[in-house]
Amino acid sequence: MRFPSTSRLCSVGSLALGLHLAASTLGHAQLADPLTTLSQSLEQYSRQTLTEQLFLHLDRPAYVAGETLWFKAYAVDGTYHRPLALSKVAYVEVLDAAQRPVLQAKIGLVRAMGQGALELPAELATGRYVVRAYTSWMKNAGPDFYFQCPITVVNTQEARPVAAPTAGPAYDVQFFPEGGQLVQDLQGRVAFKITDRQGHSVAATGTVAAANGATAATFQTLRNGLGSFLLTPTAAGGAYTATVRLPGGATLTSKLPAVAEQGYALRVTDASPTELTVAVQARLARPAEPLRLLAHTGQQVVTAAEATLLNGRTSFKIDKRLLRPGITHLTLFSGSRPVAERLYFRRPTPAQLLAVRGSATAQTVGLRSQVQLQVGTARPAALSLAVYRLDSLATSAPADISSYLLLAADLRGYIEDAGYYLRDSSAVAAQAADNLMLTQGWRRFRWDDVLAGKPPTPAYPPEVNGYLLQGRVRQRTGAPAPGVLAYLSLPGQSFWFGSSTSHADGLVQFEVPQTYGLRKLVLQTNTTLDSIVRVELLSPFTAGGGPAAPGLPPLARRWASTFSERLVQAQVQQAFPARPRYSATPLDTVAFYGRATEHYRLDDYTRFPTLEDVMREYVPGVLVRKRKDGFHFLVTDRMRHAILQENPLTLLDGLPVFDLNQLLAFDPLKLKTLDVVDSRYLSGQQMYEGVVSFQTYKGDLAGYPLNPHALLEEYELLQVPREFYAPRYDSEAQQRSRPPDLRNLLYWNPTIDLAANKPQMLNFFTSDQAGRYLVVVQGLTPDGHLGSTSFSFEVKPAL
């Protein structure tokens, strides 16, 4: 049925022209066409609030406690899904059912990609866990928009699985009116979602009854516990009750949302393969303002239209060819006030995805035999590939990059089998996707902020150059201590130093360049100036928040054989552990101050018994002066023919020294080199009268006493990249080697770079485990095309 309307449609092309001509100031925007003003406000907001997303390709969906979890990280922009080299660090966690971290790591990102590995503790309990990943910039959007993927972990040392209990679990039923509300006398669609206590979807049927007991609607789930039905509420505030019939014959009742006396009802339908209809009904106490509809994807306006109500009804027609693949928000405005909203999902066509071609040269191979895979794409692409054995624990479909970034990343909560909505092109799948849009709708921003032209101030800056380490300076009372200069040192043969002045809330932050592994860290203030403050480190990881993944149901008896196999695998891996191999990491051997003006290798000179003698005899660029309070250094600026009048920044293995009397009492035979920078040096907001830097032979401070108020900690910086290792059986002797090989993961390659139409051959060897193995490939092109594929082969013992 078509509603009478008068509407005006504005395509993205004409919008772009209008936005180009319109002034960017709010005052000029007020003079513009109202439809263009709304579009311009969202476009301006989008430019100021860049959306960043992460996808992690995990090597497999199920693990045994004690195994290694491998992953590849892809960072993209949230609008076009192109690689986004904004952040240099990704934070990866494994959370338990209570959302407590059991593992955490900082992963370096290079050109929008990174890789890592997590050792699952051997004592980890059997259950469902969540792998979560985000960047510092993503923390501004909150945990609902972090990457999250559930995994199964089985501890083979626990009791064997038992049959699931027969007692039925509790259930949760939620109802979601299309557009946001039920309105009296206006027919609307109501979507619903049914899950059990573990968060798993449940198939069910039911009825909706009015307050007088009359049946108003019937319903049943379509897929993944989701469904929808039509309802025409007859009384404002009227209580509608749903009776849900659950598997096994149990029933439960739930109230629908209250009915509003006035408001708007939306109805979105696929009118044709190329046209989308947005029907609007309104029940209002006063004449309506002009209605405006904005369709926007990734905070980018796709199309906009304006219409007026006639007899309380109107409709908008949208050309679906203007919509980009993924989720489009349809927001209805009355004047400039948003009154209804819903989501629409456009399934990408094959041409809009990256076609990844992959195959095994042989469908059946023997034990300890070579496997050859061929992988290719029609576009240049970066890929990652995993090969793992299929068993009853690893039956869930692996998360894929296309369904995650085009669908799940923009929805709140856990999405069950997101890949289904891209794989299946049937009418049933289209209706299932629409049910998902109605029940999981979410938006990253508030329209009040958009229309006010005031994007929220980000609390977390992007880490564009390296890891941003944060701390806090407090007074003895615990209150923040503002305006205090704090110093961060990473002592060593290749050391790093930085300084930061505390903000009003006591926050200090240091931009640490790409530094890997476990390092000694010292955070302190100058106790000669600030002796009553203390410093603390702040964790960069988010505590809690975000949706919880469905729990692991009781292990069924059908898992018993798999459980036994995994137990043997775990025992073999413990008996014959593979030695981890780590990739070389870049090491900057140039000090943070660059090349020194003067450099001394002290072993080249006669060694004097005191450091004072060394400085006076061999270092003409630094004058040693003794005053009432003790020794001072004065650097000679040769270029300006001047003597700098304050103590320089004096370092020992990168640690700032504030008491030169203590330094000059230090054994000079423990010192290897001395650098001098003979001009003023700016570090952060602090200006120093030159730099004098000593280094010990091992870079370990050689017993120099630390400031008792300093915070000293062994601190894990970026994870050292680890190489995946698998044995090879090229020779007959290797094939006959006695140590058993019961690997579940045969191959992992996170760095496959393909040129267009130039397939690559990959080879590896099978283990002693017969069975079917799944190959999963994920990929991304420089222009934002996403793609994945999977195929399998069989491993059988020789006859």
Instruction: Dump pLDDT digits (tens) for 202-255.
Output: 999 999 999 889 999 999 999 999 999 999 998 776 789 999 999 888 899 999
Residue 192 domain flag: no
Tell me the CATH number at 685. Answer: 2.170.130.10
Residue 789 domain flag: no
pLDDT band at 641 (very low <50, low <70, confident <90, very high): confident
Give dist(CA 129, CA 550) in Å, integer: 9
Instruction: Copy the structure tokens of residue 537.
Output: 């480190």
Residue 682 domain flag: yes
Look at 19-33, 116-130, 735-749 and tell me which has the smallest mean pLDDT: 19-33
Residue 651 domain flag: yes
pLDDT of residue 285: 87
First to last CA, the chain: 67
Give dist(CA 788, CA 356) in Å, integer: 6
- Count how many residues are written for the chain: 799
Element (H, E) at 422: helix 420-423
Residue 402 domain flag: no
pLDDT of residue 553: 60
pLDDT band at 8 (very low <50, low <70, confident <90, very high): very low
pLDDT of residue 7: 44
pLDDT band at 602 (very low <50, low <70, confident <90, very high): very high
pLDDT of residue 393: 80
Average pLDDT over residues 436-446: 79
Rounded (to 5) percent helix, strand, coil in the chain:
15, 40, 40
Domain that holds residue 674: 598-707
Give dist(CA 240, CA 582) in Å, integer: 62
Query: Is the overall model pTM greater than 0.85, yes or no?
Result: yes
Statement: residue 168 has pLDDT above 70: no
Residue 609 domain flag: yes
Average pLDDT over residues 9-16: 37
- Beta strands 356-360; 188-196: pairing state: unpaired
Whose tokens are 């006591």? That residue is 506
Look at residues 516, 537, 558 and tell me which one is the last residue of a structural domain.
537
- DSSP-assigned beta bridge partners for residue 306: 8, 292
Top mean pLDDT of 1-15, 408-422, 556-570 is at 408-422
Nearest residue to 134 via CA among 78, 216, 202: 78
Look at residues 493, 510, 537 and tell me which one is the last residue of a structural domain.
537
Give dist(CA 762, CA 383) in Å, integer: 12
Identify which has the larger pLDDT, 394 or 349. 349
CB atoms within 10 A of CB 787: 23
Look at residues 485, 504, 537 and tell me which one is the last residue of a structural domain.
537
CB atoms within 10 A of CB 780: 28
Nearest residue to 58 via CA among 402, 386, 549, 418: 386
pLDDT band at 615 (very low <50, low <70, confident <90, very high): very high
What is the tens place of the pLDDT at every residue in 511-563? 998 899 999 999 999 888 877 899 999 999 999 887 776 776 655 555 666 77
Statement: residue 22 has pLDDT above 60: no
- Beta strands 251-255; 241-245: pairing state: antiparallel
Average pLDDT along the chain: 88
Give dist(CA 694, CA 696) in Å, integer: 7
Give dist(CA 160, CA 515) in Å, integer: 44
The letter for the amino acid at 758 is: K
Same domain membership, residue 690 and residue 608: yes
What is the tens place of the pLDDT at every residue in 673-704? 999 998 888 877 788 999 999 999 999 999 99
Statement: residue 30 has pLDDT above 70: no
Sign of the dihedral through C-alpha 669, 675, 680, 686: negative
Nearest residue to 423 via CA among 680, 789, 115, 751: 789
Average pLDDT over residues 269-274: 90
CA distances from 259 to 240, 265, 281, 415, 502 (A): 9, 12, 15, 29, 53
Counting the structural domains of the chain, the total is: 2
pLDDT of residue 527: 81
Give dist(CA 785, CA 403) in Å, integer: 12
Statement: residue 272 has pLDDT above 60: yes
Statement: residue 639 has pLDDT above 90: no
pLDDT band at 567 (very low <50, low <70, confident <90, very high): confident
Give dist(CA 85, CA 70) in Å, integer: 22
Angular region, 702: left φ>0, alpha ψ -120 to 50, beta rest: left
Residue 712 domain flag: no
pLDDT band at 25 (very low <50, low <70, confident <90, very high): very low
CB contact at 8 A, 276 and 270: yes
Statement: residue 18 has pLDDT above 70: no
Residue 632 domain flag: yes
- DSSP-assigned beta bridge partners for residue 636: 643
CB contact at 8 A, 327 and 340: no
Look at 66-70, 157-161, 753-757 and tell me which has the smallest mean pLDDT: 157-161
CB atoms within 10 A of CB 684: 14
Q: Residue 698: what are its φ and ψ, rounded to 5°?
A: -105, 0
Instruction: Copy the structure tokens of residue 422.
Output: 């891209």
